[in-house]
Structure 1
Amino acid sequence: MRGALGKLLGASAVGVTTAAMVAVGSLAPARADDGNGQTGRFDVVHDGFMDPRTTLSDVDPVRLGLDPAPIEAAWEEINSYAHPSDPDVRPLYSSSVGIMGHAGAVVSRHHDGHALLYADGDGTELPPDERIAATPETIYDMASVSKLFTSIVVMQLVEDGLVDLDAAYASYVPEFGNGGKDEITVSQMLTHTSGLVAWLPLWSRYPDVESRIRAVMDVEVSNPPGTVYEYSDLNLIALGVLAERLTGEPLDVLVRDGITAPLGMADTGYNPDPALLHRIAATEYQASPDRGIVHGEVHDENAWSLGGVAGHAGIFSTAPDMAVLAQTFLNGGAYGDARILGEDSVRAMVTNLNTEFDGDAHGLGFELDQMWYMGGLSGPATAGHTGYTGTSLVIDFQSRSFVVLLTNRVHPSRSWGSNNPARRAASDGLARALAVPPQQGRTAWFGGLRDGSETTLALEVPDGRRVSIEFSAFVDAEPTDVFALEASADGGQTWTLLPFTVERGKGRHADREEIDGTWNNQGNRDWGRATARVPEGTELVRWRYTTDSNTQGRGVLVDAVKVRDGRRVVLVGESAPDAFEADGFEPVSR
């Protein structure tokens, strides 16, 4: 096992971004303190796992250096999607339960709405006495978040020497080796680069469990293995079959014995006991198949047709249980006295092995750096997964934080909308609660966090042949948003990009980069020190932050501005705040 895993990790290092390698690919052995001892900071990157004995307890976020206001604002926004003020707007879900964690503590809990509210697919509400209110312990259908549990089981088999990640899947399940699938590896299935189609209508096209599994075994590849990324339920269905074949145990038993029981996740598993129906969030009204309001059974039709236990879907869980799983990964595979994975396995699960597929970063089971639901917590070292029913898990290794958000967004209908705005709101709330302190003085200029907007910060500069401007910038933005430095020679009527040099780090290890005038720090959560030569005739310079219609990172800050004429300093920003003309930028202290 160690040789196979080491080989895969060694190969994966090629092409991985610097931030990913520092924060994920080279995670240090677990220890209690990584040397900086700082909490509540977004700009402090932790380079190791937490103490494996760390267990969660509730702590006031202020004690950990967090600002509680963005957290509360996030929960309010999440509630607003369930209770829209416009009667013509449909709610995105009937209930939400969430937990935010940081530095080994739960810093906020949330619950709202009704786990069961509707009687049919048209949105007819049940009488008040038949509704079920959501509680902190409400059990949700996790949908595709179940894939993480199957992935953990597979990695446990790797650790036991039963599976080689580089081996062909068909070497373990021979009947799979047809239709161009004989060379698909286990790792390609975990990273969704196998070439299999995304989905098959197993529930409707095949009459029984045996024929449905056979259909997965007989499917032909849609692309040569390793050539494209295509997220596929079939990958994880097949891996569930692999685990059962090699162990002789059903998948639900493997998950229970290897994950949920050791971690004390008592409310997590497949096919929940009907006696727990009063605690379970309902999902969709289904007419085909004719199931009515699905409540207490898995929503996914294929998983339902496979008996409720499948590699791609079927897990039910609670926010507290999922918080334990998140902390287990921050701890390097352990929680308290239990260890479910070794640190090498955790590294492999959260290191990007899909570097050739831009935008589809993926480890062995986890999605990585997906801002569309990870929001401000996203980065090369941020891992997570979503579920079709409205669930999500985000684990930010760099800040040692996590967010669990569980909703039943398909209740009563999958057509009522996506809850991605709520997912981003939860992650944004925790990201913005984490501080980015100014580089000099008591405040820095913050570009704001509004979608579809443009904010600017302008400054007059003296006329001269040797004018230069220095500043520090913190840029954590969506790749499609723009942070720019610009110059104007006509009083601000027109602007052109002003190139600059940015330096990150200090001393011999500093990185220097020549910038054309726009900069994105590529997920590196640190300040850059910039210098620009100002052309003769320039009257104004400005910093511009332009955002598109949705999705942002932690945002941009400008600080420590200094203007020189030759060697002579003619302006120090901290001493002359009135010299700036801010349109949307504002001074902030964290």
Structure 2
Amino acid sequence: MRIRALALPAVLVLAFAVTASADAGPNSARFDRPYPGFAPAGTVLRAGSPAQAGLNAAPIDAFNRQLAAWVPSIYPGATALLAHNGVVVDRTATGEAVKFQDATTQLPPDQQVPARTDTIYDLASLSKLFTSIVAVQQLEAGRIALDTPVAHYLPEFATNGKADITIEQLLTHTSGLIPDPIPSLWAGYPDIPSREKAILDTTPSAAPGTQYVYSDLNMLTMQLVLQQVTGKKLDELVRTGITEPLHMVDTGYNPPASKLSRIAATEYEVSPPRGMVRGSVHDENAWAMGGVAGHAGVFSTADDLAVLAQAILNGGVYRGHRILSEHGVHLMQVNFNQKFPDDSHGLGFELDQIWYMGGLSGPDTMGHTGFTGTSLVIDPRSRSFAILLTNRVHPTRNTPSTNGARRAAAQALAQAMSVQAPDGGRSWFSGQGGGSTSTLTTGTLHGSVRVSFEAFVNTETTDLLTLEASTDGGTTWTAVPLTVRGRSGPQMSPQMSLSGQSSRSWQQVRAQVSNPSNDLMLRWRYTTDPSYEGRGVNVADIELSCGRTTFTPVGWQLT
């Protein structure tokens, strides 16, 4: 596709014809206009089409096709839910909730159970969020304090060098505790009292506050603290403090037998000899704790998790039932781990993890994943969330990672929101998979050139947008120094490329390119590494102080 620019007397302004549209209309949801603060407290989820929520349906439709295509290579079955600004725009299920009778043998087709939108899944480590919410509730009630040592509440925890570990360090995985109990709770100890003692007796691997180590033991310990300060078991605290107020009727530990027909199966286990696990927690250490554990054990549906996510977006309240104050929610979305830049963490929630948050990732994007193949991503800036529940451990845990599916859910929602040029016109858009390059190249330009354009860049920090120049017909290219300014700020800064996900705002870019040989070509190059990417890049309002030119886009489209 070639787009010819209009030649004007002094400055060339590129006027684009409409050839493709990835953005919605004037009432569209704007990814480049983040919402301030919490959603209105009265926001209640309702079903609606992407168009009714101001979204472009195409990325969501493509995600649903891919979700089905990943059966059975990544998971037997999956349920997904996407919502924006209170509207549930996608709620879908694919594959089977129960497919195997043992580790290798499929059930007869008439005995297999299809995944449904109301299928109940073992959430695995998403359970940590429920423990963390209860912890923040007790923090607000004054029963615990973040900077208080755990040993203040559980004196026996001080053994083996743990006297200085604080509540905050448990909730942000900076306590220095090892990832899992050694030996495992189910194999090494005969009963729950001895298993609780093993948790308290754990020897850390690092001094508190010196490392980020994701650890189930942090949340198992947090469970014991909460039970000590309240005199109640964790399942009761979750029920009375979260699921009952929010009417999450399918959420809890140890689901009743009456719901077995809707529960997805997990693994066929030989050690311990549990057979096909269905309706009982998959995690062996949680199973050893009677199914109620700080790190795992909660079962839920996409619909129930949607209510929890909207309550978080609303500032801790849903349908008039408040489970946290706005300050409490803030504590779960503010980064306590600034010493560990790749491991941003609020109290319980992970923050800004592009490896599964994809295009929704940002400094205050909240989420968590679970070993069974689950994920929850909550993006306050767009008031959106993406839920993916799978049974990828059925019938064995030796399956591919679901991270690509997790990212795809968030990416679909991010790209369904529009990015609109500051002047209201069209922009070039490139949003691509990892390990690829897209280029937008001018024809030959005469004379030295002043360049200006607007850029919206939402990428991983290693995925760069660069302006490059060539004077040998495109054989070799050299990066052009850029001067960049945020649209709301007067300060200009020199740099060689653009990247990042923090601002979600347009930037004004300027450059000057000498052209002594009168055979200059320019190109905008966007390159991603093989890992993952953000929402992508938009370039708009290109102005060149030269004569007539054309554009050759490879991997770019007009929106």
Give the TM-score band, short-chain normalised: over 0.9
Shift of 1:580: 1.1
With structure 1 as the length reference, what TM-score do the two structures score? 0.88
Counterparts of 1:80-229 in structure 2 under 5 Å? 80-83=69-72, 91-122=73-104, 124-200=105-181, 201-229=184-212
| CA–CA separation in structure 1 for the residues paired with 2:54 and 2:355 | 27
Shift of 1:137: 1.0
Answering whether residue 339 of structure 2 is matched by residue 356 of structure 1, we say: yes
Change (3 A) 1:236 1:38: farther
| CA–CA separation in structure 2 for the residues paired with 1:255 and 1:183 | 28
User: How many residue pairs are counted as aligned between the two chains?
Assistant: 530
Pick from 58, 74, 88: which aligns with 2:63?
74
Shift of 1:255: 0.2
Counterparts of 1:131-530 in structure 2 under 5 Å? 131-200=112-181, 201-440=184-423, 442-460=425-443, 462-465=445-448, 467-506=449-488, 509-515=489-495, 517-530=496-509
Shift of 1:441: 6.1
Q: Residues 395-426 of structure 1: CA distance to partner in whole angstroms, max 9, x if unpaired?
A: 00000000111000100111021111111111
Q: Which aligned runs of 4 or more in structure 1 are off by greater than 2 angstroms?
A: 438-443, 460-465, 509-513, 535-538
Corresponding residue for residue 20 of structure 1: none
Contact 1:448/1:586 (<8 A) preserved: no
| CA–CA separation in structure 2 for the residues paired with 1:305 and 1:77 | 37
Change (3 A) 1:101 1:365: same
Q: Residues 457-478 of structure 1: CA distance to partner in whole angstroms, max 9, x if unpaired?
A: 112464445x310011111112
Q: Residues 198-229 of structure 1: CA distance to partner in whole angstroms, max 9, x if unpaired?
A: 11112112222111111111111101100110
SS of 2:377 mapped into structure 1: strand
Change (3 A) 1:135 1:482: same
Task: Give the letter for the 1:552 counterpart.
Answer: E
Task: Give the letter for the 2:513 counterpart.
Answer: V
| CA–CA separation in structure 2 for the residues paired with 1:292 and 1:190 | 34
| CA–CA separation in structure 1 for the residues paired with 2:540 and 2:359 | 20
Shift of 1:376: 0.9
| CA–CA separation in structure 1 for the residues paired with 2:53 and 2:263 | 33
| CA–CA separation in structure 2 for the residues paired with 1:237 and 1:521 | 36
Contact 2:83/2:89 (<8 A) preserved: yes
Q: Which has the larger helix fraction? A: 1
Contact 2:334/2:346 (<8 A) preserved: yes
Contact 1:176/1:218 (<8 A) preserved: yes
Q: Using the TM superposition, name which of 331-340 and 483-492 deviates more.
A: 483-492
SS of 1:414 mapped into structure 2: coil
| CA–CA separation in structure 2 for the residues paired with 1:251 and 1:39 | 43
Corresponding residue for residue 513 of structure 2: 534
Task: Give the letter for the 1:518 counterpart.
Answer: S
Task: Give the letter for the 2:43 counterpart.
Answer: T
| CA–CA separation in structure 2 for the residues paired with 1:485 and 1:210 | 64
With structure 2 as the length reference, what TM-score do the two structures score? 0.92
Q: RMSD over aligned Cα, in angstroms?
A: 1.5
Structure 1 runs not aligned, ≥5 long: 1-36, 84-90, 565-569
Task: Give the letter for the 1:320 counterpart.
Answer: D
Task: Give the letter for the 2:279 counterpart.
Answer: G
Change (3 A) 1:441 1:253: closer
Corresponding residue for residue 25 of structure 1: none
Corresponding residue for residue 31 of structure 2: 42
Structure 2 runs not aligned, ≥5 long: 1-25
Q: Percent identical across equivalent pairs?
A: 49
| CA–CA separation in structure 2 for the residues paired with 1:132 and 1:444 | 46
| CA–CA separation in structure 2 for the residues paired with 1:126 and 1:521 | 48
| CA–CA separation in structure 2 for the residues paired with 1:427 and 1:167 | 37
Shift of 1:52: 1.4
| CA–CA separation in structure 2 for the residues paired with 1:68 and 1:276 | 34
| CA–CA separation in structure 2 for the residues paired with 1:133 and 1:495 | 54
| CA–CA separation in structure 1 for the residues paired with 2:146 and 2:399 | 40
| CA–CA separation in structure 1 for the residues paired with 2:130 and 2:490 | 41
Task: Give the letter for the 1:535 counterpart.
Answer: S
Shift of 1:129: 2.5
Corresponding residue for residue 8 of structure 1: none
| CA–CA separation in structure 2 for the residues paired with 1:176 and 1:54 | 43
SS of 1:349 mapped into structure 2: helix
Q: Residues 73-131 of structure 1: CA distance to partner in whole angstroms, max 9, x if unpaired?
A: 10111111114xxxxxxx21111111111111211110111111111112x21012221
| CA–CA separation in structure 1 for the residues paired with 2:360 and 2:424 | 26
Corresponding residue for residue 55 of structure 1: 44
Change (3 A) 1:491 1:98: same
SS of 2:131 mapped into structure 1: helix
